[in-house]
Amino acid sequence: MSTENVDKFLDHIEKHQDSLVERLRQAVAIPSVSGDPAHRPDVFRMGEFLVKELKNLGASVETRDPGEQDFHGTTLKLPPVVLATIGTDPAKKTLLVYGHYDVQPALKEDGWNTDPFTLVEDEKNRLIGRGSTDDKGPILGWINVVEAHNKLGLELPVNLKFCLEGMEESGSEGLEAIIHQEADKYFKTVDVVCISDNYWLGTSKPCLTYGLRGVSYFHLTVEGPKADLHSGVFGATIHEPMTDLFAIMSQLVEPNGRLLIPGIYDLVRPLTDVEEKTYENLDFSIQDLHDAVGNEINLHNTVRDTLQHRWRFPSLSLHGIQGAFYNPGDKTVIPAKVTGKFSIRTVPDMEIPIVESLTAKYVQSLFDKLGSKNTMQLKCTHSGDYWLASPDHWNYVAASKAVKKVFGVMPDLTREGCSIPITLTFQEALGKNVLLLPMGRGDDGAHSINEKLDRSNYVSGTKLLGTYLYEVAASKGE
Amino acid sequence: MSTENVDKFLDHIEKHQDSLVERLRQAVAIPSVSGDPAHRPDVFRMGEFLVKELKNLGASVETRDPGEQDFHGTTLKLPPVVLATIGTDPAKKTLLVYGHYDVQPALKEDGWNTDPFTLVEDEKNRLIGRGSTDDKGPILGWINVVEAHNKLGLELPVNLKFCLEGMEESGSEGLEAIIHQEADKYFKTVDVVCISDNYWLGTSKPCLTYGLRGVSYFHLTVEGPKADLHSGVFGATIHEPMTDLFAIMSQLVEPNGRLLIPGIYDLVRPLTDVEEKTYENLDFSIQDLHDAVGNEINLHNTVRDTLQHRWRFPSLSLHGIQGAFYNPGDKTVIPAKVTGKFSIRTVPDMEIPIVESLTAKYVQSLFDKLGSKNTMQLKCTHSGDYWLASPDHWNYVAASKAVKKVFGVMPDLTREGCSIPITLTFQEALGKNVLLLPMGRGDDGAHSINEKLDRSNYVSGTKLLGTYLYEVAASKGE
């Protein structure tokens, strides 16, 4: 590895950090809210901004059109997927970088202290603005790396490919098909993938993320009367759908968080000593959980148990009921048809069809026990598989070395409890190792008010991404 | 009793029934929807219509102003309570008649076959229109009785007092205070009360109604996180309010309708042989229940069990949840604060404070067992007591004799499962016997589309009300 080049790069970033912040300011100023039709032109504008930046840096840029979207009856054009290539040297490894240029909605009235689309740096050097950390900062991080090399007259140590979408915050519509279509074409030469779209576990230590839980969402419908009934007239004379629904849903999970579906824990991959070790010295405390939740309602008393239940054990949450009374006040109705909503977070090796069938069998047995004359139906409305990469892969080893070099510490090895479906899509479509390499901190408030990216995370994150390229290049790739 | 006068009266009603229908047509044409501010002037107009009718018949009419109403932030004037007196002969008994001149909302678009405010008589001689049976037909029944006597030159056998309100469909705002205020004044001479604002049990046999269930409404709130949380990030790591709520609410009532609150059935008055007999030969079948519900989901297989559970045993219904996800689709949220709504229908001798305290104690014990770190609060948001009159009272005996005379059968003795709070108010404020003497049939669809009153019920009902006056007069009053 050219240590000299890395040092030049690191020095350049440190010295030019204000121009990096200026680039982020320009990007945040474009309110590319994918979930709001009024802002759809801004999402396109943000795509054009990135195309221009990439072209200016010498990238060869193409776009793919994901087509149209039905937005509550209105047809909207989907913003382009931006594909860019920098370097095609067959002697170098090729890294695919994914990011998204759309953002969550944000209004000053939501409680922001400042205008969400004007980047503001506060007294703690936090860069505050919608999209700062999710995901404009990380995307620009890669662009900053390329720019620095151009200005320094240095060649990039790897070939880079970009895949940037504008619909991530709205379900990544159309992207999955494009990835599969391009797997043997545009993405054919890719060796490994890096996604910077999640967060450090805490606020002080970088991490590499190698696993995500899957999710299966269920609708449990109980139906009886033809229409809602008066509880005074019919109470205690008919089978009430709500009573049946509560009887079943109360038997899905214990108040201590343990799933009651027979056989479900038999599917969970046993903890190994090696994995157990990754739960030591993590940048996380029970106080962090209390802070995030705003109350001391932790189920587990240790970081180890807490994070294992977030990352590598299943969970089941009850979300709500459709068809029942939900307004303030009192209403004495017997709802005729109610649909309870719950979801199961899945982990290795819980295969979706088995989870679905164990759940269906158990729910049916609970309903049968009720002796109800109502009808019951369970439907799995969507399922996304868990994702697990090997943190021993050279891609992770390279990233670890880069973290050590830039931050002076070894990164935490983390998973996340939620799903980022595109991660699994890349792994399955390309058959390559995928690394989640976050730039922001755990308290960035990605989807909340006053979203921020610390200046130090943005600057050091850019350094990390660049250094990682050198480590990837230096790796024997085995 | 003057059989001759009764016969003249019955004959007059039979011969002039078309003019009775015409009066109902005029009343239905006034859309006195108390729940719709746009129709508030029509409610006042309906009040004036009745004042005019009563004055034309020689009644001495006064009104009481219940004041103003806060309708979702708008101040609305409440329609007057119309008090009318016909006859003040101290030698005669005095009967207080209650009715309401407002109606439920109705729009053609709701599914009415005809304009709701144009009375239409169909091929089965059903008088279709909003308010026909609830409660304009019964109010006009009394007026028809007075008019017939005036035209026949006959004296009424009793003194009549009217209490007609215009807010019954919207909570009878202001009425209770007026009844208490006038108990020793305007209502001082009242001997018994008759309310015609409910329905026959079935469609072929009149009934007298002597009992109503009470209702206590509860809000059960479980609160944990400061804000809604992502179930992927927090599932299985914190105490989820929904899990706690379902655990408690599923333990309130069994799917077979039996309440699980310890001690609650000890409060229920035992069935006597005398009462048991009133459940024989009722104009009701399990098929009627199936028809009303639109599905064969009966808990009990006999009319006796079904009606006893509707009328004289408690019930507990789960109505819904405030604060949880209720829309169509999928949302993977852990709600931070959820309020489950349920109500208990109460019967003799379930006293409200005891019901509340047994429920509170039981819910607390269920919550304690969960070992949850969330907080729980149970609140009784409103309570209305059950009402039970003695069907042996001379007021009921008089009504029975009148039914026998007009219809040729003895009436069913019924209760209802729901509450009509004003019934209890009259009984308590005046300390007099209250009789519910319905005019319409069980299938009139009082609050539904195509509300109707059969012509025969309107005409025979008018005959019944008049004949009842003679039986009241003839009763020894003991």
**Chain segment B101-133, per-residue pLDDT in tens:** 999 999 999 899 999 999 999 999 999 999 999
Question: Is B305 a domain residue?
Answer: no
Is residue B332 part of an annotated ligand binding site?
A: yes
Are B444 and B359 contained in the same domain? no
Regarding an ipTM greater than 0.95, the answer is no
Q: Which two tokens stand for residue A323?
A: 């068809």
User: Do B75 and B156 share a domain, yes or no?
Assistant: yes
Query: Closest by alpha carbon to A290, among B340, B225, B136?
Result: B225
Domain assignment present for residue A420? The answer is yes
pLDDT at B71: 87
Q: How buried is B2 (Cβ within 10 angstroms: 0-12 exposed, 13-18 middle, 19+ buried)?
A: middle
Domain identity same for B15 and B43: yes
Residue A108 backbone phi and psi in degrees, to 5: -50, -40
Pair (B17, B88) in one structural domain: yes
Within this chain, do residues A224 and A373 fall inside the same structural domain, yes or no? Answer: yes
Q: For residue A75, give both structure tokens.
A: 């047809």
The catalytically annotated residue of A165, A168, A443, A444 is: A168
Whether A223 and A337 have beta carbons less than 8 Å apart is answered as yes
Whether B1 shows a pLDDT value over 80: the answer reads no
Cα distance between residue A68 and residue A76, in whole Å: 6
What is the reported pLDDT for A447?
Answer: 84
Give the strand pairing for A214-223 and A337-346: antiparallel
Tell whether the model's pLDDT for residue B453 goes beyond 80. Answer: yes
pLDDT for res A478: 61
CA distance readout (Å), A293 to A410, B331, B372:
28, 19, 15
Residue B184 lies in a domain: yes
Q: What are phi and psi of A98, to 5 degrees?
A: -110, 145
Q: What pLDDT, on the 0 to 100 scale, is given for residue A19?
A: 97
Counted across chains A and B, CB pairs separated by less than 8 A come out at 270
Pair (B333, B466) in one structural domain: no
B186/B112 same-domain check: yes
Looking at the complex, report in whole angstroms how far the Cα of residue B214 sits from the nearest Cα belonging to chain A: 9
Contact B458, B444 (CB under 8 A): no
Residues of B in contact with A169 (CB under 8 A): none
Q: Which residues of chain A have pLDDT under 50?
A: none
Do the chains contact at A320 and B335, CB–CB below 8 Å? yes
Percent share of chain B, pLDDT over 90 = 92
Chosen domain end from A384, A401, A421: A384
Q: Determine the Cα–Cα distance for residues B347 and B102; give it in Å rounded to an integer.
A: 29
Residue at token pair 């029942």: A324
Interchain pair A226, B294: CB under 8 A: yes
Q: Residue A254 belongs to what domain range?
A: 215-269+312-384
Nearby residues of B350 by Cβ (< 8 Å), 6 or more positions away: B214, B264, B267, B268, B314, B386
Residue B478, pLDDT score: 61
Q: Virtual CA dihedral for B357, B359, B361, B367, nearest 10 degrees?
A: -150
Question: Is residue B197 part of an annotated ligand binding site?
Answer: yes
pLDDT digits (tens, 9 = 90+) for B427-450: 999 999 999 999 999 999 888 889
Tokens of A178: 């494009």
Beta bridge partners of B478: none
The predicted pLDDT at position B420 comes to: 87
Compute the average pLDDT of residues B447-454.
93
Contact A373 B238 (CB under 8 A): no
B130 is in an annotated binding site: no
Q: What is the pLDDT of residues B271-286, one digit of tens each?
A: 999 999 999 999 999 9
Q: Which of B384, B406, B429 is the last residue of a domain?
A: B384
Q: What is the pLDDT of residues B345-381, one digit of tens each?
A: 999 999 999 999 999 999 999 999 999 999 999 999 9
- Among A217, A221, A326, A337, most B C-beta atoms within 10 A, so best to mutate, is A326
Instruction: Give just the sign of the alpha carbon dihedral B151, B155, B158, B162.
Output: positive
Q: Is A197 annotated as a binding residue?
A: yes
Statement to judge: residues B74 and B150 lie in one domain: yes
Question: Does residue A102 have an active-site annotation?
Answer: yes
Residue A448: the pLDDT is 86
Contact A332 B217 (CB under 8 A): yes
Q: Does some domain include residue B31?
A: yes
Structure tokens given for B268: 């229920």
Alpha-carbon distance values, A274 to A271, A277, A308, A333, A416 (Å): 8, 5, 14, 55, 18
* Count of structural domains within chain B: 2
Q: With an 8 Å Cβ cutoff, are A418 and B373 in contact?
A: no
Domain boundary among A348, A367, A384: A384
Question: Are B202 and B230 in a shared domain?
Answer: no
- Any catalytic annotation for residue A53? no
CATH number of the domain where residue B321 is located:
3.30.70.360
- For residue A168, the model assigns a pLDDT of 93
**Chain A nearest C-alpha distance from B278 (Å):** 18
Who's near A291: CB < 8 A, 6+ residues apart? none
Burial class (CB in 10 A: 0-12, 13-18, 19+), B241: buried
Q: Which of A251, A317, A327 sits opposite B334 (nearest CB)?
A: A317
Confidence of residue B265 (pLDDT cuts 50, 70, 90): very high
State which residue of chain B sits closest to A447, comparing Cα positions.
Answer: B230
| pLDDT at residue B204 tops 80 | yes
Residue A287 domain flag: no
Q: Tell me what the mean pLDDT of segment B206-224 comes to.
A: 97
List the single residue in A316, A382, A417 with the smallest CB-CB distance to B330.
A382
Whether residue B110 has a cis bond before it, omega within 30° of 0: no
Which chain B residues contact residue A417 at CB under 8 A? 232-235, 237
Amino acid in position B76: L
Cβ contact B371–A255 (<8 Å): yes
Mean pLDDT, residues B464-477 taken together: 95
- Residue A72 has a pLDDT of 84
Q: Is B169 flagged in the annotation as binding?
A: yes
Q: Are residues B7 and B32 both part of a single domain?
A: yes
Of A251, A298, A418, the CB nearest to B230: A418
Q: What is the pLDDT of residue B171?
A: 87
Interchain pair B250, A249: CB under 8 A:
yes
At A255-272, the pLDDT tens digits run 999 999 999 999 999 999
- Which 8-state DSSP code applies to residue A33? B
